[in-house]
């Protein structure tokens, strides 16, 4: 079965799916960048994204927790700088994963794997529970 995905460009399909394409047919239609791909290709690419993103986030979380432990057990400027850098990296990775998961969710109606849909759903809200800056300021002031 072939799917018509006009929202994804040929370059984007190649980037997302990688080199292991099992595409029945790829072609241009009209002036836009429109691609026909197999449903299983899209689903397996989304699964590969989730697995790789979860692995990378888990590794970065471990590095961030290690930096936090180092700082809490040895309060130095050097350890504080390392902690802040790891936290910034982790936050950036969460945001990138959240945005990419949101893009995959736009086509998750094509997926037959409900676990994959759930994992994408959870990943699409990662990092969002933070308080916005104005609220955080008022909370901080109230605590002082």
Q: What is the CATH number of the domain that holds 93?
A: 1.20.120
Whether 6 is covered by a domain: the verdict is yes
Q: Name beta bridge partners: 3.
A: 37
pLDDT of residue 36: 67
| Averaged pLDDT score across all residues of the chain | 76
40 CB-near residues (< 8 Å, 6+ apart): 22
Return phi, psi of residue 9, to 5°: -85, 165
Q: SS3 for 44?
A: helix
Residue 141 lies inside a defined structural domain of this protein: no
Banded pLDDT at 24 (limits 50, 70, 90): very low
Domain presence at residue 139 = no
pLDDT of residue 143: 45
Residue 34 lies inside a defined structural domain of this protein: yes
Lowest model confidence (mean pLDDT) among 54-58, 117-121, 130-134: 130-134
Nearest Cα to 2, choosing from 31, 32, 19, 22?
Answer: 22
Whether 136 is covered by a domain: the verdict is: no
pLDDT above 90 covers what percent of the chain? 50
Classify residue 135: in a domain, yes or no.
Answer: no
Would residue 84 count as lying in a domain? yes
Domain count, the chain: 1
The beta-strand segments (E) located in the chain are: 2-5, 35-38
**Paired strand residues for 129:** none
105: containing domain:
2-129
């Amino acid at each position: 079965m072939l799917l018509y995905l006009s929202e994804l460009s040929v370059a984007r399909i190649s980037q997302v799916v990688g080199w292991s394409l099992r595409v029945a047919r790829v072609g241009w239609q009209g002036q836009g960048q429109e691609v026909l791909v197999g449903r299983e290709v899209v689903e397996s690419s989304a699964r590969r994204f989730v697995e790789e993103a979860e692995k990378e986030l888990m590794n970065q979380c471990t590095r961030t927790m290690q930096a936090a432990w180092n700082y809490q057990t040895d309060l130095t400027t050097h350890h504080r700088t390392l902690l802040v850098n790891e936290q910034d990296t982790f936050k950036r990775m969460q945001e990138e994963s959240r945005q990419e998961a949101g893009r995959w969710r736009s086509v998750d109606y094509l997926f037959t794997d409900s676990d994959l849909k759930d994992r994408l759903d959870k990943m699409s809200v990662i990092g969002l529970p933070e308080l916005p800056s104005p609220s955080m300021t008022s909370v901080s002031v109230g605590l002082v």
